[in-house]
Amino acid sequence: MTLTEEKRQELIEKALQVRRNAYAPYSNYQVGAALLTRSGRIFAGVNVENAAYPDSICAERSAIFSAVSAGEREFDAIAVATRNGGTPCGSCRQVMSEFGLDIVVVLVDEEGKQIWQGTVRDLLPGAFLPRDLED
């Protein structure tokens, strides 16, 4: 599936909308993500922080894990909304790469202004992939 302008805008709007539900009392850095599956479904996720910091989860992984829980395994695009269009962390980049280096990633700020668009491959050159586990 090609990411149409209409779908891209829908993802951005969903990421901005869900961002309001983020639980970020420590960083005050709310993140919303909207993931488009190959089947056309959209899964949303937010960051959820925890006083024990390592137990927090990012919006991107939250959306991906929800999609996987629903039986989805093929993803076309993800929009991520933050205050300033910040990029996904290393853990999120690695999780995205598990499902495809050609997933389109759209980063927007809190006003919905696109800051960057590229692919997981652009974000994580040299990704550790399932094939790296082969003998």
Q: How many beta carbons lie within 10 A of that of residue 79, not counting itself?
A: 32
Supply the mean pLDDT for the chain: 97
Q: How many beta carbons lie within 10 A of that of residue 104, not counting itself?
A: 21
Checking if the pLDDT of 1 tops 70, the result is no
Query: Do 82 and 31 form a contact (C-beta atoms < 8 A)?
Result: yes
Find the CATH number of the domain harbouring 107: 3.40.140.10
Checking if the pLDDT of 135 tops 90, the result is no
> Which domain range does residue 78 map to?
5-133
Q: Please pick, among 10, 60, 72, 98, the residue that the annotation labels catalytic.
A: 60
Mean predicted confidence (pLDDT) in 62-86: 98
Give me the pLDDT at residue 42, please. 98
In this structure, what DSSP letter does residue 114 have?
E
60 is catalytic: yes
> Nearest Cα to 60, choosing from 131, 133, 120, 132?
120
Residue 39's pLDDT band, with cuts at 50, 70 and 90, is: very high
Please tell me the total count of domains within the chain: 1
> What is the chain's Cα-based Rg?
14
